[in-house]
A = this chain, B = another copy of it.
Amino acid sequence: MKPIYTGKTKDVYGLEDGNYLLKFKDDVTGENGVFDPGANTVGLTMEGAGKAGLRLTSFFFEKLKEHGIPTHYLDADIAARTMKVVPATVFGEGLEVICRFRAVGSFLRRYEKYAEEGQPLDAFVEVTLKDDQRLDPPISKDALDMLGILSAVEYDILKELTQQIARIIQKQLADKDMDLYDIKLEFGRDTNGEILLIDEISGGNMRVYKDGEYVQPLALEKIMLA
């Protein structure tokens, strides 16, 4: 098992069979002690956050598998906080794909002249570059294509997959009386160049509300897997 990469919330190891092992850490993103799924900094360490994130990730990836969605997920070992995945390369130096059902966060800050807080959005998809220094700038289909990051055809696949995945997760949350406001996904290409969902799907990737109150990631895991 060879260490490959140390990330904000996960470490990555190479396995002898060519697959990879993701080790979930007990760190979550946020600033000034407040959890914020959209933040770039790791500001909090929460006991059990890694295990909770992995349990929820494993739960959602299994659901996506049932729906035939291509993902990098193979299996998970909750006790060891590890998940086995197939190899995949990210687009450029990494993209974040956001699907929005409600106007909050950076969408609202940008388009407040035209949108009300919490206004329903019909699975609106946007892409941002992973670039902490430039505050993860949004980037259009045309710009992704022109800069050689993602072709126009790949963008359409990515958008379609994102909406399918977000709606499956929205449905799972709705079954527990929770409302998905937005979710952040990551994609890559497998060894055949096919687009597939990578990374994780846990409370830290989404904004979820229940009875009008924001649901913290750890609380989300408890409600979903109760």
Interface size for A (C-beta < 8 A) is 29
> Distance in Å from the Cβ of A35 to the closest Cβ of chain B?
25
Q: Does A137 contact B (CB under 8 A)?
A: yes
- Considering only residues 90-145 of chain A, those with a C-beta below 8 Å from chain B are 92-93, 107, 109-115, 121-122, 124-126, 129, 131, 134, 137-143
Instruction: List chain B residues, Cβ under 8 A from A124.
Output: 142-143, 146
Q: Does A153 contact B (CB under 8 A)?
A: no
Q: Does A149 contact B (CB under 8 A)?
A: yes
Q: Judging by beta carbons under 8 Å apart, are B125 and A113 in contact?
A: no
Q: Judging by beta carbons under 8 Å apart, are B141 and A138 in contact?
A: no
How far is B114's CA from A129's CA once the two chains are assembled, in angstroms? 10
Q: Does A79 contact B (CB under 8 A)?
A: no
Out of B114, B137, B143, name the residue touching A92 (CB < 8 Å).
B114
Closest 7 interchain pairs by CB? A110-B137, A114-B147, A140-B140, A113-B131, A124-B146, A121-B146, A115-B147
Which chain A residues have a beta carbon within 8 Å of chain B's beta carbons? Answer: 92-93, 107, 109-115, 121-122, 124-126, 129, 131, 134, 137-143, 146-149
